[in-house]
């Protein structure tokens, strides 16, 4: 009754509130909204007010509007249809003069998690990136991950936005941009190249949260760019580190122990190492941040130095971390965990500060135990006595849990430091009579372990223990003592039988576990010393026979049958094996989590792998040459400006804004242009042979994006990289790549601003290339099927095939697997090669001295002659790695299809989950136009898999939808083909026939257009671009024209001719002409 | 990253909840509350725990429990510092400590603040002054201001530019700025009076009421004392690295300028302490004696000295004699407290007595400790002095001052 009444009043209240919200009086509306927000903050269900609130969004009163925004922010996704009504208001607000309102509207709009508006948010974000207010730009940066979360299709656009934002020189924006980078494309490190120095120097001016993100990102970036400085630590230094203070550390980890063995090797390397100036810059520019009041910033700097700095420079962070331990308990907790992890690796770093880790009585348990584990790691000759003294005080604590930890530490210390072993044993012995069973048990366990290590030295302890049997009442302690006596009864031949005698007397009153141990002791003595104990043992067995507990009776019967029964067929040696077997030495649980988590993560604290946890990339063996970063002039500029800054540092932002763009220097362009010219020759040479592809494997290893590889991939690369000299081709390959970059840059030099944009765009292209490469490597097992493609000779580049063979023969030490991979790679590359190419290729491979001339030959002949390799962008189908799921990428494969009319789609599946994924397949019902792959029965964590899916697009560019299901989840997928992908490439085509057919198609069946953008492109680049967007065959032409041909799904031929700046397309299918010309124009524009 | 924030009162009821990414069910809070109240773990539950496959970071301040629910991995300290900022901003905006009462009075404001402080999962604006401009005006709900509020907060270019901690057009009269150098002495003293370990943890807090955009420079007599230092954002690190002087535009109002740690003390610890404590097995009693004396070298006076001895559960019937001050025994918490308002100079004072143990149970192995608190005005243990304080860009007359206080931090006597 009363409940119903309450409900009524609540309903009444709600009605009143709605009345207020819909009132004309702004004050009332405001009151209503305030109440509503108050209700939200208490977790009330306020969805029913949605219609009333959404009307208010257009209110001209900003205070009301703001509250409405707060409401929408939280509830829009629950009522997407109504929420869409408000979108136009947001768009209008975004044009407001006031930066706060622009930012607010963008922020709230982007927080509405309704997928259908992702396009709108994207558009606004694109505008906001160029906003005059850094606050708005930052908001735009933060909107990027939200759009990404809503709709992965925008990935490319978003990456563009990220790279535009990274160019920003405002410290406020940098943090946001890097946050977006981390969410959208955390492995596209090449985007950071040119901004690295800028970020380093702006770091101090960023806000604290931005600093955290920036340091995290720079750490990961640097791990891919620089070599491990600790590899080069001079052996003297490492000796110093180890023996400093002579407190040899007994807990040093493997890595340290390996040191001396590698020392010689390092000695030879030593003179070579000089720290990269950028590496140095990063380290030095983060040091001031150790003074931040934000402990998270300090901790991140410490992590960065722990992973990047040479060993000798780690003192700074030790000091900073110790200071953090003086803060309030939660900060102290994290700081101590960090120290614990670091000191495991470098105990020396903290050992002089061991007093800082002494436990104080009022501290909470989690602090105390952490401190104990650190103290245990820091023990050395210099401090062992002080530590033991401390521990002696700790074991007196009233907190049982803490005492147990202290006992364990004491045991560990005593087992490693024989100086204090006796003292510790005494302390532990006193604890046996502790009132708490757990403490007594733990101390006996520790004593047991210590005695087992070296029992002969401690016979006195042993004897003392046997005396304790009269005093100790605690059953677990008694039984432990009995076990020890039994185990070492031969070493105390006089005492052991006496102990048995005593126990025989009290046997009836003992607890069960003690009785069992008495039986155990008796049987051991019976075997060792039959004369003295036979009678006693017989007595005990008889007592046990009538015991109330059947475990005891059972044991007694078992022992009697084995030992005493005359019918027992076992001889003495076998019995000794059973009863007196050698026990293995006990292990001290060093709490060694074999899988150490990266510092500064929740996973490290909790010792569980959480979702979103990122491994640190491993250092590369050889630092990649990074011209982009080296060419970024920021460092120099910064120095200049810092002089100004010192005068008027408050105006630093405005100054930075005034600074000229990075690549203003005309000379710089020219230089890079000419440089690329010479390189591109050798580059084209290596294109022609697939030998160079094996090289290109190593290229990408040494290239910019090695960080993006999965572990196995990079391992393979580095292996092949060190293979042999014949790989030198790889260098030239990368040279050509950068050559084409720089020529790109040259094209756009008229407009320096957009110039650098397109530059970084092409950079990202190479990134995705290498990414795909690693994919194909890792799944090489599943590739055997695709090997047959290359065998079928569908690769018009027969030259390329033979090229690879020659490569193989040249390469004495070439691994089989390696070459196999080369072949397999072909399935992902489009090869255009003629016989002349094969020739040049042979030359290149056989005789490197003729390389240059033959390459010159290549470049002098028609452009079409050189083979063109194009990477097809990999697209994302499913990305769930953030939640720890399965990632599926796909690429429309241009291999001939096994199923006529169907387009093969190559799927790259990777399981990022922690659990295996089972029965991955296309969900039933499989659409008619799809031929599914074989179900994947099991995909282990981090395992990759490739398979092929066939889809009949029916010559339409409409998206094909289907679902992929696994045992645990169901995901919607969509594949949209581009026009170019729907074409089918003929295996060969004669030029005469081409000209013939083209001449027939005119009028409506032909299209001719002048393209301005063509002038600036080299024919080579045009070819690349066209092949990238469309599956066409390039006809060998004698003229200075580019000719391409392909077939549509409905068997109409499409002919494309590019002659200087004219594009002409001929086909009987006019619709196709229209579509293709649009695509080509788009492609060539960029 | 941060998914939700819950604020609980001492009874485990949710006072406020804010969700940034979808809604987190309240079940997890119930579960957490079970966990933290289990076996009285309130103190011993680590600040970062895993519950129901979610990570919870929690901390307690002013009798409120702040809980962050996170689903993605990131820096643990980021959560903790974010909570610290939330508490700081709350207390600035409520103009009082954020207790349960003051939070409940300001719920809509608190909710709006939380919305501004974090975007999606990323902390953004956590500076009070900037937040004031963003929402300060919105919440004044008098009808007059409502009707005419077609405008709301603006961000000055300086705030966006490089000084997010200071607003434009601040006016004060009179103009004044005061600094308090507060040094806390952490020390562990043996029963003989020997000092086992000691250090100074100090901070300089500032109360600034200055108009406009003044630039301050502060010079110290001995900057090496500030070797291990953390600065407020407003301090220019460049100038400090190069010239070892502080150069800053202060935020408005009260703030912590810097904090430092030092092991070096210029003088002896000004308060001499010694004592003993023994559990007597036969009499089932604890006997103790504590002696305090002001060091001769100290010119200033020591005020508000207190000695706190937490005892074992069940202790009773203290019999105590003291030369000065008053003794209290709390039979709920079993704490013995000796308070001395004013320490006499030149002669030692003592407390002597005994306490009964409960009739049953073990004799404790562990001796209690004595936690000593005191404060001394006008003394600076590290010897830090401000030799010069310059304020530029301000023509008017300015009152400025620096005050030194030394006090006990973690100051314990081990028997």
Is B57 within 8 Å of chain A by CB? yes
Shortest CA distance from A321: residue in chain B: B228
Separation between Cα atoms, residue A474 and residue A431, nearest integer Å? 11
Separation between Cα atoms, residue A212 and residue A413, nearest integer Å? 38
pLDDT of residue A4: 53
Please report the DSSP string for A396-412 in residue order: T-S-HHHHHHHHHHHHH
Q: Token digits for A496? A: 């052991």
The radius of gyration computed from the CA coordinates of chain A, to the nearest angstrom, equals: 37
Shortest CA distance from B184: residue in chain A: A326
Phi/psi at A905 (5° precision): -120, 125
Is B170 within 8 Å of chain A by CB? no
Please state, as a whole number, how many other Cβ atoms lie within 10 Å of the Cβ of residue A203.
23
- C-alpha distance from residue B36 to each of B45, B56, B404 (Å): 6, 12, 40
Is A654 within 8 Å of chain B by CB? yes
- The reply to whether residue A329 touches residue B47, judged by beta carbons under 8 angstroms, is yes
Q: What is the mean pLDDT of residues A165-174?
A: 84
Separation between Cα atoms, residue A620 and residue A279, nearest integer Å? 14
Q: How many Cα atoms are found within 13 Å in the side-chain-facing hemisphere of A801?
A: 14
**pLDDT tens digits along A583-620:** 776 666 555 554 578 888 888 888 888 877 878 888 88
**pLDDT tens digits along B273-301:** 999 888 888 888 889 999 998 887 777 88
Is A316 within 8 Å of chain B by CB? no
Please state, as a whole number, how many other Cβ atoms lie within 10 Å of the Cβ of residue A54.
21
Give A295 to chain B, closest Cα distance, Å: 7
A292 DSSP 8-state letter: B
**pLDDT tens digits along A985-1020:** 777 777 888 888 888 787 777 888 887 777 777 778
The pLDDT > 90 percentage for chain A reads 1
Helix (H, G, I), strand (E, B) or coil at A43: coil
Residue A457 pLDDT grade (very low, low, confident, very high; cuts 50, 70, 90): confident
pLDDT of residue B162: 57
pLDDT of residue A569: 66
Give contacts of A293 with chain B, Cβ < 8 Å: 230-233, 256, 258-259
**pLDDT tens digits along A695-721:** 333 233 323 222 223 233 333 333 322
Separation between Cα atoms, residue B299 and residue A56, nearest integer Å? 68
Separation between Cα atoms, residue A166 and residue A192, nearest integer Å? 8
pLDDT of residue A336: 92
- C-alpha distance from residue A14 to each of A7, A48, A812, A970 (Å): 10, 9, 84, 40
Highest mean pLDDT among A505-519, A740-754, A765-779: A505-519
Give B75 to chain A, closest Cα distance, Å: 5
Tokens 């590369």 belong to A620
A546, pLDDT greater than 50: yes
Is A652 within 8 Å of chain B by CB? yes
Nearest to A142 among B57, B119, B239 (CB): B119
Average pLDDT, chain A: 69
- Looking at the DSSP bridge assignments, the partners of residue B271 are B294
**Residues A80, A50 contacting (CB under 8 angstroms):** no
Separation between Cα atoms, residue A559 and residue A576, nearest integer Å? 13
Give contacts of B115 with chain A, Cβ < 8 Å: 70, 73
A760, pLDDT greater than 80: no
Phi/psi at B17 (5° precision): -135, 140
**Residues A735, A823 contacting (CB under 8 angstroms):** no
Q: What is the largest CA-CA distance in chain A?
A: 120
A817, pLDDT greater than 70: no
Tokens 């406009």 belong to B212
Please report the DSSP string for A176-232 in residue order: HHHHHHHHH-TT-GGGTGGGHHHHHHHGGGS-HHHHHHHHHHHHHHHHHHS--GGGG
Is B51 within 8 Å of chain A by CB? no
A981, pLDDT greater than 80: no
Q: Token digits for A365? A: 């348990």
Please report the DSSP string for A873-921 in residue order: PPEEEE--GGGT-EEEEEEE--SPPSSTTPEEEEEEEEE-SSS-EEEEE
Give A324 to chain B, closest Cα distance, Å: 10
End-to-end CA distance of chain B: 46
Is B245 within 8 Å of chain A by CB? no
Residue A1079 pLDDT grade (very low, low, confident, very high; cuts 50, 70, 90): confident
Give A344 to chain B, closest Cα distance, Å: 20
Is A411 within 8 Å of chain B by CB? no
Q: Token digits for A663? A: 């690549």
Separation between Cα atoms, residue A758 and residue A744, nearest integer Å? 8
Separation between Cα atoms, residue A990 and residue A996, nearest integer Å? 10
- The reply to whether residue B75 touches residue A145, judged by beta carbons under 8 angstroms, is no
3-state helix, strand and coil shares in percent for chain A, rounded to the nearest 5:
65, 5, 30
B12: left (phi over 0), alpha (psi -120 to 50) or beta: left
pLDDT string in tens for chain B (415-residue length): 788 899 998 888 888 888 887 778 888 888 888 888 876 666 788 888 888 788 899 888 888 899 999 888 888 898 899 999 899 888 888 888 888 888 888 888 888 888 888 877 788 888 887 787 776 544 444 444 444 444 444 555 555 555 677 877 778 888 889 999 999 998 888 888 888 888 888 999 998 888 888 888 889 888 888 878 888 888 888 888 888 888 888 888 888 899 888 887 777 788 889 998 888 888 888 899 999 988 877 778 888 899 998 888 888 888 888 888 888 888 888 888 999 888 888 788 899 988 888 887 777 878 888 999 998 888 888 888 888 888 886 667 788 888 999 888 889 898 8
- The reply to whether residue B261 touches residue A323, judged by beta carbons under 8 angstroms, is yes
**Residues A40, A73 contacting (CB under 8 angstroms):** no
Shortest CA distance from B152: residue in chain A: A62
**Residues B288, B415 contacting (CB under 8 angstroms):** yes
Q: Token digits for A226? A: 């620089």
**pLDDT tens digits along A96-144:** 777 777 888 888 888 877 778 888 888 888 888 888 888 888 888 888 8
Least confident range from A144-148, A259-263, A292-296: namely A259-263
Phi/psi at B194 (5° precision): -75, 140
pLDDT of residue A327: 86
Count of pairs with CB atoms under 8 A, one residue in A, one in B: 242
Please state, as a whole number, how many other Cβ atoms lie within 10 Å of the Cβ of residue A628.
20
Q: What is the largest CA-CA distance in chain B?
A: 81
Shortest CA distance from B233: residue in chain A: A292
Give B365 to chain A, closest Cα distance, Å: 6
A550, pLDDT greater than 60: yes
**pLDDT tens digits along A796-811:** 232 333 333 333 333 3
Separation between Cα atoms, residue B166 and residue B162, nearest integer Å? 10
Q: Which residue has the higher pLDDT, A660 or A170?
A: A170
Give contacts of A42 with chain B, Cβ < 8 Å: 14-17, 107
Q: Token digits for B40? A: 């009285």
Phi/psi at A756 (5° precision): -65, -25
Phi/psi at A123 (5° precision): -60, -45
Give A797 to chain B, closest Cα distance, Å: 48
- Looking at the DSSP bridge assignments, the partners of residue B49 are B56
Least confident range from A144-153, A423-432, A447-456: namely A447-456
- The reply to whether residue B18 touches residue A41, judged by beta carbons under 8 angstroms, is yes
A649, pLDDT greater than 70: no
Separation between Cα atoms, residue A811 and residue B8, nearest integer Å? 70
Please state, as a whole number, how many other Cβ atoms lie within 10 Å of the Cβ of residue B390.
13
**pLDDT tens digits along A314-356:** 888 888 888 888 888 889 999 999 898 888 888 888 888 888 8
Tokens 């391992």 belong to A715
* CA angle B178–B181–B183, rounded 5-degree value: 160
- The reply to whether residue A34 touches residue B259, judged by beta carbons under 8 angstroms, is no
Relative to beta strand B175-189, strand B398-414 is parallel
Shortest CA distance from B77: residue in chain A: A296
Give B345 to chain A, closest Cα distance, Å: 31
């Amino acid at each position: 009754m009363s409940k119903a009444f309450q409900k009524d009043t609540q309903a009444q209240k709600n009605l009143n509130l709605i009345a207020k919200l819909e009132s004309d009086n702004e004050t009332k509306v405001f009151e209503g909204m305030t109440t509503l927000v108050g209700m939200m903050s208490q977790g009330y269900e306020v969805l029913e007010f949605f219609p009333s609130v959404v009307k208010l969004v257009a209110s001209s009163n900003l205070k009301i509007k703001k509250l409405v925004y707060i409401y929408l922010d939280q509830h829009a996704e629950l009522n997407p249809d109504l929420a869409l009504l408000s979108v136009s208001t947001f768009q209008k607000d975004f044009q407001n003069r006031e930066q706060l309102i622009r930012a607010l509207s963008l922020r709230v709009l982007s927080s509405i998690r309704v997928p259908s508006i992702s396009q709108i948010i994207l558009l606004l974000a694109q505008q906001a990136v160029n906003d005059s207010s850094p606050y708005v730009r930052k908001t735009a940066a933060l909107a990027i991950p939200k759009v990404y979360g809503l709709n992965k299709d925008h990935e490319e656009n978003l990456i563009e936005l990220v790279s535009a934002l990274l160019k920003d020189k405002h410290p406020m924006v940098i943090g946001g941009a890097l946050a977006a980078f981390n969410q959208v494309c955390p492995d596209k490190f090449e985007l950071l190249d040119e901004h690295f120095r800028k970020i380093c120097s702006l770091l101090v001016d960023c806000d604290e949260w931005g600093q955290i993100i920036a340091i995290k990102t720079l750490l990961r970036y640097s791990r891919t760019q620089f070599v491990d400085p600790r590899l080069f630590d001079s052996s003297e230094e490492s000796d110093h580190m180890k023996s400093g203070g002579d407190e040899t550390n007994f807990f040093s980890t493997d890595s340290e122990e390996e040191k001396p063995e590698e020392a010689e090797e390092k000695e030879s390397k030593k003179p070579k190492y000089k720290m990269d100036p950028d590496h140095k810059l990063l380290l030095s520019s983060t040091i001031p941040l150790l003074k931040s009041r934000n402990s998270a910033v300090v901790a991140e700097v410490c992590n960065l130095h722990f992973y990047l700095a040479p060993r000798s420079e780690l003192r700074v962070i030790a000091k900073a971390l110790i200071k953090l331990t003086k803060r309030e308990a939660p900060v102290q907790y994290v700081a101590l965990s960090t120290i614990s992890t670091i000191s495991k690796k470098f105990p020396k770093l903290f050992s002089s500060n061991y007093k800082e880790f002494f436990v104080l009585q009022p501290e909470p348990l989690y602090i105390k135990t952490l401190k104990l584990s650190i103290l245990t790691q820091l023990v050395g000759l210099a401090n062992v006595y002080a530590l033991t003294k401390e521990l002696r005080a700790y074991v007196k604590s009233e907190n049982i849990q803490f005492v147990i930890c202290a006992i364990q530490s004491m045991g560990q210390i005593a087992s490693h430091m024989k100086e204090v072993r006796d003292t510790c044993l005494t302390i532990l012995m006193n604890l046996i009579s502790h009132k708490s069973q757990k403490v007594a048990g733990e101390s006996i366990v520790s004593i047991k372990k210590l005695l087992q290590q070296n029992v002969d030295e401690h016979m006195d302890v042993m004897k003392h223990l046997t005396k304790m049997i009269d005093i100790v009442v605690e059953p677990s302690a008694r039984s432990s003592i009995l076990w020890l006596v039994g185990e070492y009864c031969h070493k105390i031949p006089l005492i052991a039988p006496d102990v048995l005698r005593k126990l025989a007397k009290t046997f009836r009153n003992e607890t069960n576990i003690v009785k069992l141990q008495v039986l155990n002791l008796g049987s051991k003595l019976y075997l060792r010393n039959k004369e003295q104990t036979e009678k006693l043992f017989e007595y005990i067995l008889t007592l046990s026979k009538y015991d109330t507990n059947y475990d005891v009776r059972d044991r007694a019967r078992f022992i009697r049958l084995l030992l005493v029964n005359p019918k027992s067929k076992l001889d003495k040696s076998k019995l000794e094996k059973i009863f007196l077997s050698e026990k293995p030495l006990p292990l001290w649980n060093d709490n060694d989590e074999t899988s150490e988590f990266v510092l500064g993560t929740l996973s490290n604290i909790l010792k569980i792998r959480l979702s979103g946890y990122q491994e640190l990339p491993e250092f590369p063996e050889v630092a990649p040459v990074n011209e982009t970063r080296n060419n970024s002039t920021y460092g120099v500029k910064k120095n200049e400006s810092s002089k100004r800054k010192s005068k008027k540092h408050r105006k630093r932002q405005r100054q930075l804004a005034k600074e000229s763009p990075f690549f203003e220097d005309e000379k710089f362009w020219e230089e890079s242009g000419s440089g690329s010219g010479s390189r591109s020759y050798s580059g084209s040479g290596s294109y022609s042979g697939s030998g160079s592809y094996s090289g290109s494997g190593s290229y990408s290893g040494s290239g910019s994006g090695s960080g993006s590889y999965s572990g196995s991939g990079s391992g393979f690369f580095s292996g092949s990289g060190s293979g042999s000299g014949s790989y030198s081709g790889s260098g030239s390959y990368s040279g050509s790549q950068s050559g084409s970059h720089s020529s790109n840059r040259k094209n756009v030099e008229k407009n320096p601003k957009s110039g650098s944009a397109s530059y970084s765009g092409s950079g990202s292209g190479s990134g995705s290339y290498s990414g795909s490469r690693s994919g194909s490597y890792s799944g090489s097992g599943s590739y055997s099927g695709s090997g047959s493609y290359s065998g079928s000779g569908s690769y018009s580049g027969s030259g390329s095939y033979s090229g690879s063979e020659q490569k193989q023969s040249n390469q004495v030490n070439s691994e089989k697997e390696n070459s196999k991979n080369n072949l397999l790679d072909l399935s992902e590359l489009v090869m255009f090669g003629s016989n002349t190419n094969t020739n040049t290729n042979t030359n290149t491979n056989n005789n490197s001295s003729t390389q240059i001339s033959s390459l010159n030959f290549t470049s002098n002949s028609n452009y079409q002659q050189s083979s063109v390799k194009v990477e097809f962008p990999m697209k994302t189908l499913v990305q769930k790695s953030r939640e720890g799921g399965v990632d599926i990428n796909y690429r429309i494969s241009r291999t001939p299809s096994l199923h006529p009319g169907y387009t093969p789609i190559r799927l790259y599946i990777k399981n990022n989950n922690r659990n295996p994924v089972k029965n991955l397949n296309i969900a039933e019902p499989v659409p008619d136009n799809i031929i599914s792959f074989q179900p994947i029965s099991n995909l282990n964590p981090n395992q990759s898999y490739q398979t092929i899916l066939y889809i009949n697009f029916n010559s339409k560019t409409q998206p094909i939808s289907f679902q992929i299901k696994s045992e645990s989840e169901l995901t919607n997928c969509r594949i949209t083909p581009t026009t170019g992908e729907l074409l089918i490439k003929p295996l060969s085509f004669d030029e005469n026939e081409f000209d013939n057919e083209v001449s027939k198609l005119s009028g409506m069946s032909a299209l001719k257009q002048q393209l301005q953008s063509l002038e600036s492109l080299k024919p080579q680049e045009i070819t690349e671009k066209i092949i990238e967007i469309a599956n066409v065959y390039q006809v060998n032409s004698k003229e200075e024209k580019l000719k391409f041909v392909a077939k549509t799904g409905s068997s109409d031929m499409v002919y494309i001719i590019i002659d200087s700046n004219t594009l002409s397309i001929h086909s009987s299918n006019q619709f196709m002409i229209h579509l293709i010309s649009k695509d080509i124009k788009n492609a060539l524009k960029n | 990253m941060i998914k939700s924030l819950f604020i609980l009162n001492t009874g485990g009821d949710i006072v406020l909840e804010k969700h940034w990414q979808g809604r987190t069910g309240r079940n997890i809070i119930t579960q957490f509350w079970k966990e933290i109240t289990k076996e009285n773990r309130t103190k011993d539950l680590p600040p970062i725990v895993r519950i129901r496959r979610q990570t919870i970071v929690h901390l307690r301040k002013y009798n409120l429990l702040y809980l962050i629910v996170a689903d993605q991995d990131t820096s643990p300290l980021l959560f903790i510092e974010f909570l610290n900022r939330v508490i700081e901003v709350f207390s600035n905006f409520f103009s009082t400590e954020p207790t349960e009462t003051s939070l409940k009075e300001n719920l809509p404001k608190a909710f709006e603040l939380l919305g501004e402080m974090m975007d999606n999962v990323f902390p953004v604006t956590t500076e009070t002054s900037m937040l004031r401009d963003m929402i300060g005006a919105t919440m004044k709900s008098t009808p007059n201001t409502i009707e005419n509020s077609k405008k709301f907060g603006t961000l000055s270019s300086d705030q966006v530019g490089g000084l997010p901690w200071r607003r434009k057009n601040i006016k004060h009269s009179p103009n004044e700025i005061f600094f308090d150098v507060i040094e806390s002495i952490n020390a562990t003293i043996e029963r003989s009076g020997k000092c086992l370990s000691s250090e100074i943890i100090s901070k300089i807090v500032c109360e600034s009421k200055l108009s406009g955009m003044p630039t301050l420079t502060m010079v110290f007599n001995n900057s090496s004392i500030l070797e291990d230092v953390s600065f407020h954002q407003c301090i220019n690190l460049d100038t400090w690295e190069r010239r070892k002087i502080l150069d800053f535009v202060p935020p408005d109002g009260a703030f912590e300028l810097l904090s430092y740690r030092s092991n070096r003390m210029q003088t002896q610890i000004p308060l001499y302490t010694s004592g003993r404590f023994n559990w007597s097995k036969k009499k089932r009693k604890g006997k103790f004696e504590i002696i305090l004396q002001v060091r001769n070298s100290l010119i200033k006076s020591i005020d508000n000295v207190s000695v706190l001895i937490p005892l074992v559960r069940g202790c009773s019937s203290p019999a105590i004699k003291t030369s000065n001050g008053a003794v209290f025994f709390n039979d709920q918490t079993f704490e013995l407290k000796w308070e001395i308002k004013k320490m006499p100079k030149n002669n030692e004072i003592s407390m002597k007595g005994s306490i009964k143990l409960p009739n049953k149970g073990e004799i404790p192995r562990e001796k209690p400790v004595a936690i000593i608190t005191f404060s001394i005005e006008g003394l600076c243990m590290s010897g830090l002095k401000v030799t010069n304080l310059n304020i530029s860009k301000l023509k008017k007359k300015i009152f400025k001052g620096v005050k030194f206080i030394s006090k006990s931090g973690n100051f314990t006597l081990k028997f």
